[in-house]
Amino acid sequence: MFTSLNQAIKNYRIKLEALEKASKYSTNKIKFTILYARLKRWCKALKAEIFRSSYKTIFAVVFTQFRYLPTALKANVHQPSDKQKRVIDVLLARDAVEAIQLEKNQDSPDTLLTLIDLDKRLREQAKFIAQTVELPEWRKSLKLPPKAWWWFFPPPVHPQDRFDWSWSGLSVLFFTASLGLLVNISSRVLTGGPDLLGALAISVQSVLTLLAAKGALTESGKEGIKQFLENCNLSKHWWQEIKLGLALLVCVILGTIYWVLPRFAEPYRQHGYQEYQAGRLASAESDYKRALAMNPDDAKTHFYLGLLYEELQDFKRASTEYKYAIQGGYQTAFNNLARLYILKKDYANAGVLLTQLKKKSIENKRLEYTLYKNFGWLYLEKNYLTLAKEHLNIAIYLADQLPPSLDERPGSAHCLLAQVLNKENDNTKEEQKQWEYCISDSPEEFPEEVIWLAMAKERLLELKTVQVK
């Protein structure tokens, strides 16, 4: 036990110098020095024998010089226990200085300057000390106070840990992106109200994302992941990489779901159409909206939703959906929107739409029939009777080529042609014939067709009355 601070500092200096010497000659340097000395001796012996000996003698020289090389290397390298002893000697010597300094308060300027210089040299050995011994384990055993800073040198950064800050930042970035994807997917899947499939999908995604994000962003989550990784006996140097991999995996899974989500819109659209056919319009609307949430650019679903709104007499929203369908290239929507424009007496926009459709390669005869029928209707409303008659005759010709179907009867074209003939008032017989076709072939699919059917019945009564007279 030292009685003075100077004695303690002197001992501290001796132990520190021994440590500096041990750290100066690292294992690799010692091995290189020994190897170089052996190689030099071998070359000298080989030079003496090469011109006067056989190859067997030369081999014997080489073998003699190198057979004990591994033993020499091992014997001359500082063993871990020796290095550890030097480290603990220095740390205990510094403890002794601190104890005397606190107990006797023997602080002179020269003594303090010496101590400051020695402490500076000790700090320069921090990396060697941290590499040589497990300071955290020693601190647990000795229960040292934080003010004993020489026991608290930080461990050296492992080469693999140099980029942990970037891996951690990328993990947060990926988890943030995952949360954004989760919110987007949830809002799209749950549009129109939750169903079993949507609720299950969102539950799985939410649990996966929130668990992963909690592990990266909260202290309790980080502690949980730490315990898990320790139980898996995984090296600490891989922890940040594993967290990054987990974040990337979650982001990729959610990104894949986001990418394939439009493919799940088809079943909802089909089910919505079945509900529409059955007259369950509220259920159909919900399915259509969910399908559009998953695939906003699905022109066919926009068209079906437009039909539904039209049946609900919500022509404004029907027009909007038809416009979306037209932007998606759905040709039938041109005719439907043009029809709504004609009903509103917006003949200019109706003509633009019908002309645009006429310039396209029309998909089927049914669509072409409706196009010419609408052209005839438009020209009738504008009182262009010759053009109206021409287009309506083409429409009737196209309708005659369609297979028989209750939904595709050309009655509306006959009704319009009868109105044209009525305005011309020069062929009563042909007019009566068209009114009869109007009654027999009218599908009464739209409100205006009901009105035309009533007109046909009234006009036929008038014509029959005239014939009787």
- pLDDT at site 27: 46
User: What is the rounded CA–CA span in Å between residue 316 and residue 314?
Assistant: 6
The full set of domain ranges for the chain reads 5-151, 163-264, 364-469
Q: Which residues contact 236 (CB under 8 A, 6 or more apart)?
A: 229
Output the CA–CA distances (angstroms, integers) from residue 361 to 60, 232, 356, 393, in the order listed. 95, 65, 10, 21
- pLDDT at site 73: 44
CATH topology of domain 364-469: 1.25.40
- pLDDT at site 76: 46
Burial environment of residue 47 by CB neighbours within 10 A (0 to 12, 13 to 18, 19 or more):
exposed
User: What is the rounded CA–CA span in Å between residue 437 and residue 417?
Assistant: 10
The pair of structure tokens assigned to 460 is: 């036929």
User: What is the rounded CA–CA span in Å between residue 48 and residue 267?
Assistant: 92
User: Please, which contacts does 363-369 make with residues 24 or more away whose CB atoms are closer than 8 Å?
Assistant: 363/331, 365/398, 365/401, 365/402, 366/402, 366/408, 367/331, 367/332, 367/335, 368/398, 369/395, 369/398, 369/399, 369/402, 369/408, 369/410, 369/413
- pLDDT at site 36: 54
Burial environment of residue 326 by CB neighbours within 10 A (0 to 12, 13 to 18, 19 or more):
buried
- Residue-by-residue DSSP string for 189-221: HTTTS--HHHHHHHHHHHHHHHHHHHHHHSHHH
| Residue 392 contacts residue 417 (beta carbons within 8 Å) | yes
Taking residue 119's Cβ as centre, other Cβ atoms within 10 Å add up to 16
pLDDT by residue for the chain (469 residues), tens digit each? 566 778 888 888 888 888 888 877 654 444 455 455 656 665 665 555 554 555 445 455 444 555 554 554 444 444 556 888 888 888 888 888 888 876 665 567 788 888 889 889 988 888 888 878 888 888 888 888 888 888 888 877 666 667 777 877 888 888 888 878 877 777 777 665 555 555 555 555 555 555 555 555 555 556 666 666 666 666 666 767 778 888 888 889 888 888 888 888 899 999 999 999 999 999 999 999 989 988 999 999 999 999 999 999 999 999 999 999 999 999 999 999 999 999 999 999 999 999 999 999 887 888 999 999 999 999 999 999 999 999 999 999 998 887 766 455 678 999 999 999 999 988 889 999 999 999 988 767 788 888 999 999 999 998 877 665 5
User: What is the rounded CA–CA span in Å between residue 175 and residue 98?
Assistant: 48
The pair of structure tokens assigned to 404 is: 């028989």
The pair of structure tokens assigned to 30 is: 């010692």
Q: Which residues contact 427 (CB under 8 A, 6 or more apart)?
A: 421
H or E stretch at 455: helix 447-468
- pLDDT at site 64: 54
Output the CA–CA distances (angstroms, integers) from residue 422 to 342, 389, 399, 416, 466, in the order listed. 20, 11, 22, 10, 14
- pLDDT at site 30: 45
pTM of the entire structure? 0.60
- pLDDT at site 302: 97
The pair of structure tokens assigned to 24 is: 């100066």
